Structure formats: C-alpha cells, structure tokens
Structure 1
Amino acid sequence: MQQPIRVVVADDHPVILFGAEHALLKFPGIQVVGRARQSTELIKALQTTPCDVLVTDLAMPGGQYGDGLPLIGYLRRNFPNIPIVVLTMLENAALLKRLGELGVIAVVHKSDDLSHIGLAVQHVSRNLEYMSPQVKVALESLRINSGGKNEEVILSKRELEVVRLFVSGMTIKEISEKLNRSIKTISTQKNTAMRKLGLDRDSELFQYAQSNGLLNLSSHAPDEGLAGDAAP
C-alpha cells in the first residue's frame, strides 16, 4: 500500500489554514500532520514532525524566523529535502522569479480554487513543478513584457534606500529631509523602483517589501547558527 504524502500547513490566517487543510483532506493520498500560524511554530513542527511536503503562506509576520523570501531561503537551507508549496496573494513577476531561484517549484495564488493546493502537493512530491492558473498568468505576463528574455530586476542603491524608508512609514517629504534630496528626486526614485518591480499601488509596494524582508530588520530570518538544531 502506498504511503500517504505527509504535509505540514502554515498560514497566519485561521480561515485559510482551515480551508487549506480541508481542501487537502479531499485528496485520499494526502495526510496533514502539522499546522503552524507563524515561523517559530513552523520550524518547531518541521523539527519534530516527519513530513514530505510543506505548504506555507509567503506573508506570515511574527515568529522568530520572519517571513517572506528570508524565511523561504532559511527553509531551503535547513530543510532542503522538504519541497515547498508557497501560498500567496502577490502576482509580482520579480517575486515569482526569486522564489524559483530559491528552489520553489510550486506556487498557488490564494484567489485560485483551493483544490490547486492538493494538486501542487501531488506534483512536488514527484519533484514536478506546479503553478496555479493566476500564477501562470503573471508568469506569462513577465514573458511577454520581457520579450521572452529572463531579465533581472535590479534597483539602484538609492532606489532601494528610498523604498526601505517609505515602507518603514516615512513620507516623501521626511525622506527628502533625511537624505538631503529634493522631494521631486525622492518621488522619482520611488516611482522608478515601483515601475521596475511592476507595482502600481503603494499597498503592493508594502506587500512586496514585507515578502522580501525589506519592511524591517526583524523580518529577516536569523543566521543558520542560531538554529543549529534544525533538521538537515
């Protein structure tokens, strides 16, 4: 008899956590063996509960290990044999590209039907890629807009500096005074950064910053040495 695929599910929203687990239970070959609502609970679950696949939200603030890309990187370094299915509301092509670079081969958009979580688990358990429909649309948009080229999104040092300060809560005027640049220059650098990242609204910039560990220093996962008891 084939062994079930053991899954740990992590999301800071109880409704989504319940919905994801309920959706997975509809797949006979999948068994939910652990749950977590922030990164500390997640790492503890992975250290103590044998599992085959991790399903985790990307933006999951709170906890010792942060969230977003820093957490994904930490998971890939410390639990390299556990494939990850990422849940997200973001459609930013640069973010999706970075997830791929970190070794994530399955991404499910939260606006898609929850059944895609189970399909993604089945795929990654066989080392196969899976992208839900909304994620495929975002990736196709990247391919079309870049003319088929795999272009790296790079912010200049000054653009990144402005973004960090803006998402920390400072106004354009306050940033201008702090950096001794004109308001027009600061506004231009912020808008240029958003255009490069494919973002249209400030709310999207805040989401992107949180998922990429730019919101504050505490959102970065700790060095590997601080969690030396993590399972290989």
Structure 2
Amino acid sequence: MKESGKNSADRSNGDARIRVVVADDHPVVRFGVRNMLEHDPAFQIVGEAGDGDEAITQTLDLEPDVLLLDVQMPRLPGLEAMRAIMDRSPRVKIIILTSTVSTQQVIEALQIGARGIVLKDSVAADLTTAMRAVLSGDYWIGGERVMNLVTALNDLMKQAAATPERKTYGLTPRELDVVTCIVEGCSNKDVAKQFAISEETVKRHLSNIFDKTGVSTRLELALFAIAHKLVKLEA
C-alpha cells in the first residue's frame, strides 16, 4: 500500500495526522497494526513493507513520521535496513516492533538510532503511547517512556553483562522458532501456516539454519537442537 506525496506536501495541506509505515514480513501483523491505527484519527498508515529492502524504499519515498520495523525480515535484516535508513533519512522515528528481542539487540538497535522497542504481544497496550513518546523526543524501552538514553543504555549493558545469553550459533529468533517446529515434527507447510509465511521462506530459513549449525538433514537438526538445548522440551 502506497500513497503519493511526501510528508511536507501532506503537512502543507493541513493534514496533521501521524504518518506511519509498517514493515513486517507477517501480513497478519501488518493487518492487525493497520486495523488498530485506522480506528485512531491521529494516525495514518501510508505504507507497508514485507522485507528489509521494501522497508528502505517505502521509508525513503514516503518520508513517514514513524517507521514500525521488525528485527527479523527477509532479504535484509531489520537492523541492517535501519542503518541504511538512518544514513539517508535520520528524521524518521523508528520503533522496533518484534516478537522477541535479546538485550544485545536492543542495545544495538538504540545505538543505530531506534527510538523505541515494542513487543508484538504489547502492541494493543503500548504502541500508540510509544509512538507519541518518541515523537515528543523521548524513547520507549521496556514498556515505558525513557528520557535519558545514556542511563538506559548503561542499565541495559549491565543487564547484558550480568546475564550471559545462551549460545544460539548465530540463529535468529525466527530461525529458532523454525528449529522448535522441526523438533516437534512439523512439515514445511505446517511451519509456513503457523508463522503466516510462504514455504519458500521456510526453505530459506532451513538453508540458513543448516549452514549455521553444520547439519544437513532435518533429523540431524532435531538431534543437534536437543543436544545443544536450542529448544525447550516439555517435561
């Protein structure tokens, strides 16, 4: 979905709504965010993107006030897309919209230029408040408004140092989700349906997983995941 006209043109026409681009590889997530914001006259969805490259194009072309950006995106990861956007359009306020994120990823995102982090299971409660917070010049971290980024980053770094994260062999949160499905015996079709992605995307995830873990079959992957505690097994 794409509108013609840039931010400056909209402002000159008296449109004071907050212009938003939603970048997420899940159509269901994009639909949910769009449906929620359409009921708030303060916001206007002006563009959507299903991968990192599209996120860059949509943001640079449409110049929204806010970009909602998933960390795990096809073609180009969210953080890499954010780097490219911040280099060319630093005015846009970027909020990371994600299912799960590590402390280290939060730190990296904020250092690149993100203004907020909103978990997808908190969208209904936090999203509009988070967007207003970042547009007013503050940050949104851990479900609350943050005014001092330096203090917040120091706290996050102390937390990361005090709680070493489990070894994941470079697997992204989405790839770990796929691994869990494989251990549970899911087919590619099952995985695609569960995460609302195509089977081609599932195959691409599996190829990346095989490369990172050094296995070559689904059975080897399942055994590797169990042996290295990549999945939580039901008692």
TM-score (norm 2): 0.57
Cα-to-partner distance string for 1:188-228 (whole Å, 9 max, x where unaligned)? xxx7xxxxxxxx7369xxxxxxxxxxxxxxxxxxxxxxxxx
1:75 pairs with one of 85, 90, 94: 85
SS in 2 for 1:90: coil
SS in 2 for 1:6: strand
Q: Which has the higher contact order (CA 8 A, sep 6+)?
A: 1
| Separation in 2, partners of 1:57, 1:92 | 13
Q: Is the 8 A contact 2:55 2:81 kept in 1?
A: no
SS in 1 for 2:129: helix
Q: Which amino acid aligns with 2:80?
A: P
Q: Are 2:117 and 1:107 aligned? A: yes
Shift in alpha-carbon separation, 1:84–1:113, aligned structure 2, 3 A: closer
Q: Percent identity?
A: 23
What does residue 50 of structure 1 align with? 63
Q: Which amino acid aligns with 2:230?
A: R
Q: Is the 8 A contact 1:108 1:117 kept in 2?
A: yes
Q: Are 2:17 and 1:4 aligned? A: yes
Q: Which amino acid aligns with 1:133?
A: G
Shift in alpha-carbon separation, 1:168–1:113, aligned structure 2, 3 A: closer
Shift in alpha-carbon separation, 1:116–1:126, aligned structure 2, 3 A: same
Q: Which amino acid aligns with 1:9?
A: V
CA shift, 1:28, in A, is: 2.3
| Separation in 1, partners of 2:52, 2:214 | 35
Shift in alpha-carbon separation, 1:93–1:132, aligned structure 2, 3 A: closer
| Separation in 1, partners of 2:91, 2:163 | 29
Q: Is the 8 A contact 1:112 1:132 kept in 2?
A: no
Q: Is the 8 A contact 2:69 2:97 kept in 1?
A: yes
What does residue 129 of structure 1 align with? 139
| Separation in 2, partners of 1:118, 1:80 | 21
| Separation in 2, partners of 1:7, 1:116 | 16
CA shift, 1:151, in A, is: 4.6
Q: Is the 8 A contact 2:60 2:85 kept in 1?
A: no
Structure 2, unmatched stretches of 5+, are: 1-13, 147-151, 172-206, 216-223
Q: Is the 8 A contact 1:24 1:115 kept in 2?
A: no
Cα-to-partner distance string for 1:41-81 (whole Å, 9 max, x where unaligned)? 2222223223211111111113xxx1132222222212211
Q: Is the 8 A contact 1:23 1:117 kept in 2?
A: no
Shift in alpha-carbon separation, 1:84–1:2, aligned structure 2, 3 A: same
Q: Which amino acid aligns with 1:104?
A: A
CA shift, 1:35, in A, is: 1.2
Range moving further from structure 2, 102-111 or 18-27 = 18-27
Number of aligned positions between the proteins: 167
Range moving further from structure 2, 104-113 or 123-132 = 123-132
| Separation in 1, partners of 2:55, 2:101 | 24
Q: Is the 8 A contact 1:59 1:68 kept in 2?
A: yes
Q: Is the 8 A contact 2:56 2:84 kept in 1?
A: no
What does residue 15 of structure 1 align with? 28
Q: Are 2:179 and 1:169 aligned? A: no
Q: Is the 8 A contact 1:23 1:118 kept in 2?
A: no
CA shift, 1:8, in A, is: 0.9
Structure 1, unmatched stretches of 5+, are: 175-186, 192-199, 204-232
SS in 1 for 2:121: coil
TM-score (norm 1): 0.58
| Separation in 1, partners of 2:19, 2:214 | 51
CA shift, 1:109, in A, is: 0.5
Alignment map for 1:186-197 (pairs within 5 Å): none
Aligned alpha-carbon RMSD (Å): 4.0
